[in-house]
Structure 1
Amino acid sequence: MIAEKLVRTYKFSFDENNQELAFFGSMRPERSVEMADCVRLIEKSIASIRGTIYINVKRLVRLNNVAFHALGGALLKAVDERPDLKVSIITSSVIGWSTKKFGTLTAKNPRIIVEEYDSEFYPGQTFLEEGGFIPILRTQTKLTWRHEKDILPRHGLKPGMTIADICCGIGDFAQLVHKEFSPGRIVALDHSKSSLSYARGVAADFGIQGIEYIYGDASEMLLEDNQFDFVTCRHSLQIFNKPEFILKELYRICKPGGRIYITNEKNSHCLGEPRAESIQWTYNEVAKLFDHFDMDVELGPKSRRYMQDAGLEDIRMESFMVTNLDGNPQDFADIIQSWENVYAGEMAVKRGDPPEFITRFRKGFQDHIFAALHAKGYAGWPIWVASGRKPL
């Protein structure tokens, strides 16, 4: 049973089943007496549980000193009085001050710990967001856009809609949607500061205005409920170890009757001729490598199940193959080279793979490049598209 109460500019709730007390919004009282209800809820909640109580402040966007002293004082008092009690405060890196501020309570009592929720939530992010990999994402989007600009209307995208592009990466998809479909509003959110910086720079260089780039955690977005007609999340569920958390948030921010649009891959279905056997072996190993880091680049065909489980209806699915024939074959080859650099040059090394494995692993990527550039060759990269409607 979850009890919830609105207090001024913030809410708080207690989930007895999970022993979690959550705070949302902006907590800026002028006097400590304004925190009385909140403190009583903390005391009542703690009295009803054993072991660990979880204090969720991931969506507490502001907290002044009056509120912090009231919260912190109540928690310190509780652990002093209850030797059996532990307090775990769950913060997010998106709210930059929260981990440091609540961390001061740990110094006063080690049974109060602070856990930054998203510090381990994105196991593959460091591989995919930095350095030379960022520019190649533009090439990937250029090749996929040839297909998606025709696919998107079939999945419900129309001019004038309010759009959220979640896990927007370097922002190029949002820019293309902005140019092609003239949305009424478009918000682009990502958890990578470097990617967002790149996106803002490109938008400025190209004179693109009207895209709201936001730093945020896709699993705990600081966006209001039910505000977007069309919510996109491309090539992203496959790199989260808990994709259902992301879909839950996409569902929350989508308007009733609006649609959620996702794309994901099945990397083991990448193909090429000639040298098909070597290529197939490598991409089978890519899937295993990602699984080692709790990512699923085989998620594409599973999208329908995920969307049904999220509560969506009228689910539409289709797939398309990006190939070396979609424009300049060298563009396709450049993408494969970037994959080799990251997957064989970084991820396999971090997993601890032996040199002989990495040599064979690299050969499959090089053979895929060979197929892409061969005068009679064919190389493909399959992508699954799925969308679903949020019930009215």
Structure 2
Amino acid sequence: MSEAASSTYKVRFDENNQEFSIIGSMRPQYVEELDSCIRLMETSIAKVKGTVYVNVKRLVRLNNLAFHVLANLLVKACAERPDLKISVITSSVVGWSTRKFSALREISPNIVIEQYDSAFYPGQTFLEEGGFIPVLRTQTKMTWQHEKAILPQHGMREGLTIADICCGIGDFAVLLHKEFQPARLVALDHSKSSLAYARKVAADFGIQGIEYIYGDASEMLLDEGQFDFVTCRHSLQVFDRPELILRELYRICKPGGRVYITNEKNSHCLGEPRAESIQWTYNEVAKLWAHFNMDIELGPKSRRYMTEAGFEDIRIESFMVTNLDGDPQNFADIIQSWEDVYAGQMSVQRGDSAEFNEKFRRGFQDHIFAALHPKGYAGWPVWVASGRKPQ
């Protein structure tokens, strides 16, 4: 790994991945201020065979002088080496970068622009549908009565600086704000529609003090080591590379602070009566998610992921959300929404047969039957894990 830095930006080259990264704000007044960056980029490109990746996902500012220097260097490299391919990796979070660097495609056919997060969030479109929002709120309402008691056992208390990453529609952040009165609360998500809804809910409830931020959880534009407590709920299971999210959660957490995550193991959903049909359907749910590079079985794997991310004092437990946690119809509504998304969208997109889908749907309906049966029991398990960032 080779690096160079100024007071406002860092550049580094990872030879194993052939990736040159620029992080921070690059706004020089004179070309000479970029000398160390230029030298590192030139020597890095000289070592590369095939494709070199230029990662600007966390380049938050770039003036015209710096852009022209970088652009000329990349175009020149392609002209001198026709065998060389350059892939510029941008992010939708820094919207201008895709537009600006796309101009290079017209100059050199060997330069391509890839918007990284368009492929990184394979399940996001399934979970952003407007009709799913009321169900997400119901889910949080039912899990909160468990988590409210569990959170203090994992280090939550009043007056902390908190980040809620992948905050979704923001209802959990609102509950944290009301219950634990943080000194600061940042809520970040990659969905603009979810954040818009979250801001509306906070305004409707008259809540001030939650900072809503649009951002990529795997490449956050947040300074490192600034939060006492970082939460990320039901989200690692949605991403095809959860270790990248955990790396960022670790980075923004203060030394001695804690990161708190929740995830599921859907194949452990249960119900009586009609247990066999229910079990079959949720085993198939796990396979369906895996088809879309998501892991709804991640819950019990949390300890391994947190250990590999470098956390210590890892605490893990599970709780069961059931039809007895208040109104059984709330539980039934959650299951109906799962059927609508999993059987109505994901299974169809995978190309499953009508016969499969009929049996698939029957398991969800049997779960609802168990939830609403006067003698029935229905459950949905959630795993909680937290780890401390070493001092």
Tell me if both proteins adopt one fold, taking TM over 0.5 as the criterion: yes
Q: Which amino acid aligns with 2:121?
A: Y
Tell whether 2:109 aligns with 1:113: no
Q: What's the offset of the Cα at 1:38?
A: 2.0
Structure 2 letter corresponding to 1:239: V
For residues 385 and 371 of structure 1, what CA distance do their matches in structure 2 show? 25
* CA distance in 2 between partners of 1:244 and 1:283 (Å): 25
Q: How does 1:123-272 map to 2 (within 5 A)?
A: 123-272=122-271
- Counterparts of residues 1-392 of structure 1 (less than 5 Å): 2-392=1-391
Secondary structure of 1:113's aligned partner: strand
Which residue identity is paired with 1:346? Q
SS at match of 2:387: strand
Q: Which structure 1 segments of 5+ residues have no match?
A: none
- 1:379 maps to a residue whose letter is A
Provide the identity percentage.
75
The answer to whether the 8 A contact 2:4-2:37 is kept is no
Secondary structure in 1 matching 2:374? coil
TM-score normalised to structure 1 length: 0.98
Amino acid of the structure 1 residue aligned with 2:267: S
| 1:221 partner amino acid | M
Q: Write the distance in 2 (CA, Å) between the matches of 1:293 and 1:48.
A: 36
Q: CA deviation at 1:37?
A: 2.7
Deviates more, 1:5-14 or 1:256-265: 5-14
Structure 1 runs (4+) greater than 3 angstroms displaced: none
Q: How far apart in 1 are the matches of 2:175 and 2:16?
A: 44
CA distance in 1, matches of 2:128, 2:290: 18
Q: Please give the TM-score of this superposition, normalised by the length of structure 2.
A: 0.98
How far 1:27 sits from its partner (Å)?
A: 1.2
What one-letter code is carried by the residue in structure 1 that aligns with 2:76?
Answer: K
1:5 counterpart SS class:
strand
CA distance in 1 between partners of 2:295 and 2:7 (Å): 42
Deviation of 1:16 after TM superposition, in Å, equals 2.0
Q: Which segment drifts farther, 122-131 or 338-347?
A: 122-131
Task: Give 1:51 deviation, angstroms.
Answer: 1.8
Question: Amino acid of the residue matched to residue 270 of structure 2?
Answer: L
Q: RMSD of aligned C-alpha atoms?
A: 1.0
> In structure 2, how many angstroms separate the alpha carbons of the residues matched to 1:317 and 1:8?
40
Residues 3 and 40 in structure 2, CA contact (< 8 A), matched pair in contact too: no
CA contact (8 A) 2:4 2:40 kept: no
Q: Distance in 2 between matches of 1:340 and 1:255?
A: 40
- Shift in Å at residue 184 of structure 1? 0.8
Gaps of 5+ in 2: none
Q: Which amino acid aligns with 1:354?
A: S
Per-residue CA shift, 1:349-381, capped at 9, x if unaligned? 000001111111111111111111111111100
Separation in 1, partners of 2:159, 2:7: 34
Alignment-mate amino acid for residue 224 of structure 1: D
* Contact 1:130/1:194 (8 A) holds in 2: no
Count the aligned residue pairs.
391
Q: Partner of 2:261: helix, strand, or coil?
A: strand
1:224 counterpart SS class: coil
What whole-Å deviation, never above 9, does each CA across 1:284-316 have from its counterpart, x for those lacking one? 110110010011111111111111111111111
Letter in 1 for 2:240: N
Question: Deviation digits for residues 120-141 of structure 1, max 9, x if unmatched?
Answer: 1011110011220122100000
SS at match of 2:56: strand
SS at match of 2:162: strand
Secondary structure of the equivalent of 2:325?
coil
Q: How far did 1:19 drift?
A: 1.6
* CA–CA distance in structure 1, aligned partners of residues 20 and 234 of structure 2: 33
Q: One-letter code of the match for 1:388?
A: G
Q: Could you tell me how far apart the structure 2 residues matched to 1:20 and 1:357 are?
A: 44
Q: Secondary structure at the match of 2:57?
A: strand
**Aligned letter for 1:226?**
G
Q: How far apart are 1:48 and its partner, in Å?
A: 2.2
Shift of 1:13: 1.3
Superposed displacement of residue 32, structure 1: 2.9
Measure how far apart 1:28 and its partner are. 1.5
State the AA in 2 paired with 1:317.
I
Distance 2:64 2:354 in 1: 55
- For residues 166 and 44 of structure 2, the distance between their equivalents in structure 1, rounded to whole angstroms, comes to 35
Higher mean C-alpha displacement, 23-32 vs 382-391 = 23-32
**What is the distance in 1 between the residues matched to 2:283 and 2:50?**
44
Once residues 77 and 37 of structure 1 are traced to their aligned partners in structure 2, the CA distance between those partners, rounded to angstroms, is 18
Contact 1:189 1:216 in 2 (8 A): yes
Q: CA deviation at 1:8?
A: 3.4
**Partner amino acid, structure 1, of 2:373:** H
**AA aligned opposite 1:222:** L
In structure 2, how many angstroms separate the alpha carbons of the residues matched to 1:291 and 1:11? 37
CA contact 1:52–1:85 (8 Å) conserved in 2? yes
